[in-house]
Amino acid sequence: MKSRLALPALLALLVLAFLASLAFGELRLSFGQVLGALTGGGDEIARTVVRDFRLPRALVGAAAGAALGASGVVMQAFFRNPLASPGLLGVSSGGALGAVAVLALAPATGLAAATLWALPLASILGAFAATGAVLMLAQRGAGTERLLLSGVALNALLGAGTSFLLTTTAGHFEVNAQILFWLMGGLESRSWEHVWMGVPAILGACLLLLPLGRPMDLLSLGEQSAQSLGVDVRRLRRQLILLSTVLTALATAVGGIIGFVGLVVPHVLRLAFGPDHRRLLPYSMIGGAAFLLACDLVTRTFPLGMRLGVVTALIGGPFFLWLLRRPR
Amino acid sequence: MSRSSAPRLFALLLLLVLPLLAARPQRVVSQAVGTDELLLALADPGQIAALSHIGRDGRFSVVADEAKRFPSLKDSDAESVLRFRPDLVLAASFTRPETLALLRRAGVRLVVLDRFDTLEDVYASLRILGRELGQQARAEALIASCRGRVEALAARLKGVRPVRVLTAGAYPFTSGAGTTFQDFCDHAGALNVAAEAGLKGHAPTPSEKLLTWNPEVLVVSGDRPDGADIRARLAEIPHYRALAAFRAGRFAVIPGALMSSVSHHRIDAYERLARALHPERFR
């Protein structure tokens, strides 16, 4: 496909997915009812469903998808490895552990009950702590390989921590169910609070990331080549790690661990429109948003209880395997 | 009766009774909270060797204080159970199948109770347990007293309009037909709107459809009697926030351990729920 059509096509997909998110759900609402609810008319149930349930959910979903798509591009460029994804440095696992710790300790501290912000904030804190730990671990030597290995080790460690907390809450059905939310991702029960705590910051980080497309292209030639072409590689790497951490942390804070979006979306778009990061970055943001909304639509229209992380993995998993098997 | 024949008669009686006494298990281990609650109600204290590892945790067990007087299992696995050299092990059908298999292989007498949904199920379990423990009379007396309480409650509630209720938890799961909660409703003058809408068992609460169910009261399990903790958590979930019952603060709080109790103690939950929903009948 020619790239001139790419942006309008992706935007159209996103708009379509967003409108579908407002239109479809458990309750069957007519197009007129949805429109009426958005403009303040209609009956109270339709208004509540569209404005308080579906709209914040769609906004949070789109933002999380965009964050993960963009973060995936950054990670793949940073490691110059097509298999890199946002969770690689333990950011998502750190975020999940933060939230799960608050949940597991909730009966003792009453923290989760105290504020709606406790869980997402703990998640963001956990995510940043994880990145900080990886950077510290990998600083000496500073090679990407070392960073990668540190990330893998940290991921395992954080996963173990979460599993441990999960076992300590065994028997506490409700806490266990909430922990599953963080581990398998989801957008149910997202509210306007989640919109405010996630969407503006994700938007901001995406905007800061856009101008880095060109230096990322140069980085893909190799660090030395990039350096010789005038890129401050150290600074660029710091910026990339920071922004991708912010994006992944925020996506995890509002939606739990959602795998595969950051892996799949950049690859599909790279195959379709080429590897130029100046285009790949915005495309992945828009594509990620549309993809996550579409996956969320599947969880909503399928029998209750289908998890978002399960849907993205069911679509992303086979794709990942195909990528691995594809002749280079 | 001559003086010399008395000891002989006593010896004879002892010979007759001893096998009966010996047949009564003397080292019973209960592996689940539900069986703890039943066992404590029927057994002589001397018959109990150990209770389940969460039986003494007030969040899950109605009999936590009583259970603290007995040794408790370290874990719910077979080894923890066998360490007490039991002559009878009580387990529930929801015990892990591997554990049950190991216990069976170890050759101890194992009784697995498998019906918990209604009060009749509890009565059946009490009878089985009464027989196993040699405490049939106690079992029948307990059942009779339970029936008395339930009948008294039914008499109080006669003719009330059932209140439309929903169980609400911080994680959106609710209880439909065929659950312990449905049993509570059936006895407490309540109509479970989730069951009315066709939900079976424990299922995720549908967020959008919930608005059309129109529950009048939210039944929550909480450790604080005023339910302040659980209300704060429910407030984080948009679909509860939108309900009229939530906004008006119409909650009925049942302690968590009672809410999940599968023994005769559930009658306490019936009474609490009935009192909360129909206070005018309890003046």
Of A112-121, A198-207, B82-91, give the lowest mean pLDDT range.
A112-121
The DSSP secondary structure of A128-164, one letter per residue, reads HHHHHHHHHHHHTT--HHHHHHHHHHHHHHHHHHHHH
Q: Which of B173, B206, B236 is closest, CB to CB, to A177?
A: B173
Strand order in the sheet with B217-221: B190-192, B163-167, B217-221, B251-254
For residue B182, how far is the Cα from the chain centroid?
A: 14
Q: At what angle do helices A192-209 and A55-79 cross, to 10 degrees?
A: 30
Q: Which of A53-57, A291-295, A304-308 has the lowest mean pLDDT?
A: A304-308
How many Å lie between the alpha carbon of A230 and the closest alpha carbon of chain B? Answer: 50
Q: Which amino acid is located at B189 in the chain?
A: G
**CB < 8 Å to A178, chain B:** 170-171
Read off the pLDDT of each residue in B126-154 and give the average, rounded to a whole number.
96
Per-residue pLDDT at A328: 57
Q: Packing angle between helix A233-255 and helix A118-139, nearest 10 degrees?
A: 150
Instruction: Render B76-99 in DSSP notation, one character per residue.
Output: SSHHHHHTT--SEEEEETTS-HHH
Which of A262, A275, A268, A319 is CA-nearest to residue A88? A262
- Its pTM stands at 0.83
* Residue with token string 């603290």: B68
Most confident range (mean pLDDT) of A138-147, A297-306, B8-17 is A297-306
Confidence of residue B1 (pLDDT cuts 50, 70, 90): very low
For an interface test with B, the pick among A109, A174, A175, A180 (most B C-beta atoms closer than 10 Å) comes out as A174
Is A259 an 8 Å CB contact of chain B? Answer: no
Q: Judging by DSSP bridges, how do beta strands B190-192 and B202-204 pair with one another? A: unpaired
Contact A49, A37 (CB under 8 A): yes
Least confident segment among A241-250, B39-48, B233-242: B233-242
At A290, the pLDDT band (50, 70, 90 cuts) reads very high
List of chain B residues whose C-beta atoms are within 8 Å of the C-beta of residue A52: 238, 241-242
Residue A3: predicted pLDDT: 66
Q: What is the mean pLDDT of the segment spanning A151-171? A: 87
Share of chain B above pLDDT 70, in %: 94
* Mean pLDDT to the nearest integer, B189-195: 97
Q: Greater confidence, B13 or B97?
A: B97
Residue-wise pLDDT tens digits, A80-113: 888 888 888 899 999 999 988 888 887 666 555 5
Task: Report the distance separating Cα A119 and Cα A105, nearest Å.
Answer: 11
CB contact (8 A) between residue A174 and residue B171: yes
Is A26 at the interface with chain B, CB within 8 A? yes
pLDDT computed for residue B4 by the predictor: 58
Task: Report the run of H or E that residue B228 belongs to, with start and end.
Answer: helix B228-234
End-to-end CA, chain B: 60
Range A233-261 average pLDDT: 91
What's the confidence (pLDDT) of residue B281? 94
Q: Which residues of B touch A53 (CB under 8 A)?
A: 207-208, 238-239, 242
Is the pLDDT reported for residue B17 higher than 80? no
Put simply, the answer to whether B208 touches A113 (Cβ < 8 Å) is no
Give the highest mean pLDDT range of A104-118, B136-150, B235-249: B136-150
- Computed over every residue of chain B, the mean pLDDT equals 89
pLDDT at B213 over 50: yes
* Residues ≥6 apart with Cβ < 8 Å to A194: A56, A60, A120, A254
A chain contacts of residue B227, beta-carbon cutoff 8 Å: none
Contact A189 B206 (CB under 8 A): no
Least confident segment among A33-37, A63-67, B234-238, B266-270? B234-238
Bridge partners, B30 (sequence order):
B90
Of residues A96 and B2, more confidence is placed in A96
Q: Phi/psi zone of residue A279: left (φ > 0), alpha (ψ -120 to 50 degrees), beta?
A: alpha
Residue of A nearest to B222 (CA): A107
Contact at CB, B171 and A112, closer than 8 angstroms:
no
Please count the other Cβ atoms lying within 10 Å of the Cβ belonging to residue A314.
13
What is the distance between the alpha carbons of residues A66 and A60, in angstroms, rounded to a whole number?
Answer: 10
Residue B136 three-state SS: helix
Q: How high is the pLDDT of residue A5? A: 85
Smallest Cβ–Cβ distance between A191 and the set B57, B208, B238 belongs to B238
- Structure-token pair, residue A326: 């594809």
The pLDDT score that the predictor gives to residue B19 is 53
pLDDT tier at A265 (50, 70, 90 boundaries)? very high
Q: What average pLDDT does this structure show over B225-238?
A: 80
Q: Hey, is the C-beta of A172 within 8 angstroms of any chain B C-beta? A: yes
A174 touching chain B per CB within 8 A: yes
Q: Is B229 on the interface with A (CB under 8 A)?
A: yes
Q: What is the pLDDT of residues A180-206, one digit of tens each?
A: 778 888 898 888 989 999 999 999 999
- Chain A contact for B8, CB < 8 A? no
**What is the four-CA torsion angle of A296, A302, A304, A309, rounded to 10 degrees?**
-40
pLDDT at A214 over 90: yes
Cα dihedral B55/B261/B246/A57 (nearest 10): 70
Q: How confident is the model at residue B14 (pLDDT cuts 50, 70, 90)?
A: low
- Binary contact (B209, A304; C-beta < 8 A): no
Please check whether residue B204 touches A, CB under 8 A: yes
Averaged pLDDT, A49-54: 92
Taking residues B22-35, what's their average pLDDT?
Answer: 88
Instruction: Give the phi and the psi of residue B206 in degrees, each rounded to 5.
Output: -70, 125
Looking at the predicted structure, is the pLDDT value of residue A284 above 80? yes
B173/A174 CB distance under 8 A: yes
What pLDDT score was predicted for residue B21?
55
User: Which of A27, A29, A192, A254 is the best substitution to test chain B (most B C-beta atoms within 10 A)?
Assistant: A27
- What is the pLDDT averaged over residues B252-276? 93
Whole-number pLDDT of residue A107: 64
Instruction: Answer whether residue B259 shows pLDDT above 60.
Output: yes
% of chain A with per-residue pLDDT over 70: 91
How far apart, in whole angstroms, are the C-alpha atoms of residue A194 and residue A41?
Answer: 25
Lowest mean pLDDT among A81-85, A240-244, A259-263, B161-165: A81-85
Reported confidence tier of residue B267, pLDDT bands at 50, 70, 90:
very high
* Chain A partners within 8 Å of B54 (Cβ): 171
- Rounded mean pLDDT, B193-222: 91
In the predicted structure, residue B172 carries a pLDDT above the cut 80: no
Closest by CA position to A77, among listed A261, A241, A251: A241
Nearest alpha-carbon partner for A239 in A57, A77, A33:
A77
Q: What is the structure's pLDDT at B117?
A: 79
Chain B nearest-CA residue for A48: B242
Of these ranges, A121-125, A291-295, B74-78, B207-211, the one predicted with the greatest mean pLDDT is A291-295
Contact between A53 and B238 using a beta-carbon 8 Å cutoff: yes
Minimal Cβ distance to A171: which of B54, B230, B236:
B54
Q: How confident is residue A150, by pLDDT bands cut at 50, 70 and 90?
A: confident
**CB neighbours of residue A20 within 10 Å:** 17
Facing B237 at nearest CB: one of A49, A189, A305:
A189
Round to whole Å and give the CA distance between B181 and B270: 10
- For residue B73, count CB atoms less than 10 angstroms from its CB and return exposed for 0-12, middle for 13-18, buried for 19 or more: buried
Nearest to B207 among A26, A172, A193 (CB): A26
Check the CA dihedral A116-A121-A122-A123 and report its sign: positive
How close B235 gets to chain A, by Cα (Å)? Answer: 9
- In chain A, residues with a C-beta closer than 8 Å to the C-beta of B59 are 107, 172
Average pLDDT over residues A145-165: 89
Number of Cβ pairs < 8 A linking chain A and chain B: 68
